[in-house]
């Protein structure tokens, strides 16, 4: 069925509201094309997209279809699904509460007991709550750090982990077998299952576990000022509880604390966007605060800014902050004899090589996975069930997400801001700012600079352009950059690594549309279409002999790469 047929199906449907039909009538041809050129995809990261009417949008019909599919999946997979139940949580976005209640109603009418919170809660607490309630699954209504026009739908298994590809495959099949979003039907059971509002004990236990991860909580906190913002999202209550309980001097950015779906107090809720730091740094300057911490709207990512040795505020990338945190946690644990002799750290194939080098220095091995924290959560569960094997010590992604203690099985912004605060305080008490700590890491392990660049490709033409770009690179992967070609290329879609000499080795990971180039001087370039947005990401990592050289090199390489790939 083509775009116009789909559009007319919605326009002529008796169950589409008058308000949505008015929106449809006012759409330009470009808007119609984008809203109807495909069904919103339920992929390995669930669904995420723009809110509004259309097949390629998040709305009551597409969410209902996904929930019907999830209900059928749970009943097929778990014999006790009805009594074990599902936990649902949501962020601050438009329609998040409505989607939560709608999803709970559908599951209830399939006979599946459902737990909901009384209001918004962060993603890591949803992950924890699934485990705490011994539920068979979870749903998180969130678009994470995406713009205000977006929302999303993520599903979790009984371990509190997002479904990995081999698990979600059957769910995607079930959803694919359903009629279109306007014609999905089911017969509600005569007596729907209960929808239970979770009590305060879930919040209390989650906060208690977050507080338990501290290492040096007896450090003098007086005069060490922290500015915190939840970016209008889910983390405000939990973060302030943790900080107050542990005696930190914290100043919230008040205009960004309310759960506002329009994000009116910030130019961006994304810690990867420099605009998200404008208001927090403004307050930090007034207070002469040493540290700025933020979480994204659903509370799983964390961003940092700090007062450097020259009295200026600087931000850190996820790779930089994580490398420093790994060094702090592992060194402090080693002092106390609590670092496992058989420890493991997890990261991803697009993460900086620096973290792995730091971990190796402390005798901790590293396992790498595809992008998506679900792979890390799944690996934690694998070793837990195995009963032996390496002990989890840390897990992180370059995109500002990390996990310190695995009582949650997703990246956890509350754990992150707590330990980043402790790390910064520890170095402050030892006369060091974080830029000084970063320079010391460079002296020890080489000066690393890793940056991620993105190019948007919107609409049906954009999707075609993205496909052509990846196909072209896959067919000719040994790209000359500044006269140098890669010494090896890893293609995660083809599950193979090929050297410039022609030697081949398999990649033992699920297939994914990622290509990574390795150059002789330590430079790496990974190219990956986003799993949640219409864009291609370019991850460029360099290792240099000086900080100045390292900082200048990624931008130069990115421009050369675009020329080589004929990207305008």
Same domain? 417 vs 313: yes
Same domain? 92 vs 117: yes
CA distances from 497 to 51, 172, 305, 484, 522 (A): 40, 29, 37, 18, 17
Q: Does residue 535 fall inside a structural domain?
A: yes
Same domain? 44 vs 169: yes
Q: Does residue 30 fall inside a structural domain?
A: no
Instruction: Please state the domain count of the chain.
Output: 3
Lookup: tokens for 294: 């933020």
Q: Does residue 191 fall inside a structural domain?
A: yes
| Rounded Cα gap, residues 512 and 447, in angstroms | 30
Same domain? 431 vs 465: no
Lookup: tokens for 203: 């919040």
Dihedral angle computed from the Cα positions of residues 202, 114, 408 and 255, in that order, rounded to the nearest 10 degrees: -70
Domain boundary among 407, 422, 445: 445
Q: Does residue 67 fall inside a structural domain?
A: yes
Same domain? 218 vs 176: no
Domain boundary among 445, 468, 495: 445
CA 77 and chain centroid, separation: 26
How is the beta sheet containing 313-316 ordered, strand by strand? Answer: 249-252, 225-229, 291-295, 302-307, 313-316
CATH number for the domain that contains residue 393: 3.40.120.10
Q: Catalytic pick from 96, 144, 490, 512?
A: 144
DSSP state of 299: S
**What is the residue range of 454's domain?**
447-564
pLDDT one digit per residue (tens) for the chain, 568 residues? 789 999 999 999 999 999 999 999 999 999 999 999 999 988 777 899 999 999 999 999 999 999 999 999 999 999 999 999 999 999 999 999 999 999 999 999 999 999 999 999 999 999 999 999 999 999 999 999 889 999 999 999 999 999 999 999 999 999 999 999 999 999 999 999 999 999 999 999 999 999 999 999 999 999 999 999 999 999 999 999 999 999 999 999 999 999 999 999 999 999 999 999 999 999 999 999 999 999 999 999 999 999 999 999 999 999 999 999 999 999 999 999 999 999 999 999 999 999 999 999 999 999 999 999 999 999 999 999 999 889 999 999 998 999 999 999 999 999 999 999 999 999 999 999 999 999 999 999 999 999 999 998 877 677 788 889 999 999 999 989 888 999 999 999 999 999 999 999 999 999 999 999 999 999 999 999 876 667 899 999 999 999 999 999 999 999 999 999 988 7
CA 285 and chain centroid, separation: 29
Q: Does residue 313 fall inside a structural domain?
A: yes
| Rounded Cα gap, residues 527 and 371, in angstroms | 12
Q: Does residue 288 fall inside a structural domain?
A: yes
| Rounded Cα gap, residues 15 and 294, in angstroms | 41
Same domain? 428 vs 491: no
- Give the strand pairing for 150-156 and 137-141: antiparallel
pTM reported for the whole predicted model: 0.93
Same domain? 191 vs 316: no
Same domain? 142 vs 235: no
Residue 399 annotated as catalytic: no
DSSP state of 179: -
- Give the strand pairing for 225-229 and 291-295: parallel
| Rounded Cα gap, residues 541 and 352, in angstroms | 6
CATH number for the domain that contains residue 462: 3.30.310.50
- What is the DSSP code string of 418-455? HHHHHHHHHHHHTT--HHHHHHHHHHHH-EEEEEEEEE
| Rounded Cα gap, residues 131 and 377, in angstroms | 12
Q: State the angle between helix axes of 165-177 and 60-77 in degrees (0 to 180), rounded to the nearest 10.
A: 120
Q: Does residue 386 fall inside a structural domain?
A: yes
Lookup: tokens for 360: 């190796």
Same domain? 140 vs 264: no
Q: 345-364 burial string, b = 16+ CB within 10 Å, else e?
A: bbbbbbbbbbbbbbbeebeb
Cβ atoms 497, 488 nearer than 8 A: yes
Lookup: tokens for 227: 């500015």
Q: Does residue 113 fall inside a structural domain?
A: yes
| Rounded Cα gap, residues 568 and 566, in angstroms | 6
Same domain? 163 vs 254: no
Taking alpha carbons only, the member of 358, 289, 360 closest to residue 279 is 289
Cβ atoms 153, 52 nearer than 8 A: no
Same domain? 545 vs 425: no
Same domain? 264 vs 156: no
Cβ atoms 411, 396 nearer than 8 A: yes
Strand runs (DSSP E) across 110-166, as ranges? 114-116, 137-141, 150-156
| Rounded Cα gap, residues 55 and 2, in angstroms | 11
Domain boundary among 445, 480, 506: 445
Cβ atoms 268, 383 nearer than 8 A: no
């Amino acid at each position: 069925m083509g775009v116009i047929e789909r559009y007319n199906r919605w326009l002529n449907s008796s169950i589409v509201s008058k308000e949505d039909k008015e929106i449809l009538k006012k759409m330009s041809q470009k808007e119609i094309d984008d809203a109807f050129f495909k069904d919103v995809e339920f992929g390995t990261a669930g669904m995420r997209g723009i809110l509004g009417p259309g097949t390629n949008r998040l709305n009551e019909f597409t969410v209902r279809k996904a929930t019907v599919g999830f209900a059928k999946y749970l009943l097929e997979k778990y014999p006790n699904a009805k009594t074990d139940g599902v936990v649902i949580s949501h962020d601050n976005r438009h329609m998040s509460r409505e989607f939560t209640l709608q999803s709970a109603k559908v599951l209830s009418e399939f006979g599946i007991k459902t737990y909901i919170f009384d209001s918004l809660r962060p993603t890591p607490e949803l992950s924890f709550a699934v485990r705490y309630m011994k539920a068979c699954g979870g749903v998180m209504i969130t678009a994470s750090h995406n713009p205000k026009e977006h929302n999303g739908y993520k599903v979790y298994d009984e371990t509190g982990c997002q479904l990995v590809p081999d698990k979600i495959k059957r769910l995607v099949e079930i959803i694919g077998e359903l009629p279109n979003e306007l014609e999905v039907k089911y017969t509600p059971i005569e007596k729907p299952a209960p929808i239970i509002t979770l009590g305060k004990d879930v919040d209390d236990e989650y906060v208690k576990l977050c507080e338990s991860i501290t290492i040096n909580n007896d450090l003098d906190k007086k005069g060490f000022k922290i500015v915190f913002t939840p970016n209008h999202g889910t983390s405000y209550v939990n973060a302030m509880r943790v900080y107050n309980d542990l005696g930190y001097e914290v100043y919230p950015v008040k205009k960004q604390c309310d759960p506002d779906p329009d994000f009116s107090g910030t130019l961006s809720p994304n810690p990867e966007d420099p605009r998200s730091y404008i208001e927090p740094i403004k307050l930090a300057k007034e207070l002469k605060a040493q540290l700025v911490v933020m979480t994204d709207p659903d509370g799983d990512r964390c961003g940092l800014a700090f007062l450097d040795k020259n009295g200026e505020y600087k931000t850190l990338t996820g790779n930089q902050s994580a490398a420093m945190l790994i060094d702090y946690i592992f060194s402090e644990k080693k002092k106390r004899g609590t670092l496992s002799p058989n420890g493991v750290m997890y990261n991803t194939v697009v993460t900086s090589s620096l973290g792995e080098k730091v971990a190796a220095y402390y005798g901790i091995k590293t396992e790498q996975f595809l992008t998506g924290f679900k792979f890390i959560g799944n690996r934690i569960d694998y070793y837990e069930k195995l009963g032996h094997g390496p002990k989890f010590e840390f897990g992180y992604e370059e995109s500002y997400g990390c996990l310190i203690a695995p009582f949650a099985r997703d990246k956890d912004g509350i754990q992150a801001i707590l330990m980043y605060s402790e790390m910064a305080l520890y170095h402050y008490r030892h006369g060091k700012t974080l830029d000084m700590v970063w320079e010391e890491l460079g002296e020890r392990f080489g000066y690393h600079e890793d940056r991620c660049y993105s190019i948007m490709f919107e609409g049906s033409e954009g999707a075609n352009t993205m496909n052509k770009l990846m196909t072209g690179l896959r067919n000719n992967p040994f790209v000359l950059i500044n006269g140098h070609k890669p010494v090896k290329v890893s293609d995660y879609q083809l599950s193979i690594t090929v050297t410039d000499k022609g030697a081949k080795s398999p990649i033992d990971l699920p297939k994914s549309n990622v290509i990574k180039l390795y150059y002789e001087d330590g430079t790496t370039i990974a190219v990956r279409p986003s799993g949640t947005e219409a864009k291609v990401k370019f991850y460029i990592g360099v290792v240099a002999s000086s900080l100045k050289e390292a900082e200048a090199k990624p931008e130069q390489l990115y421009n050369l790469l675009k020329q080589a790939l004929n990207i305008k």
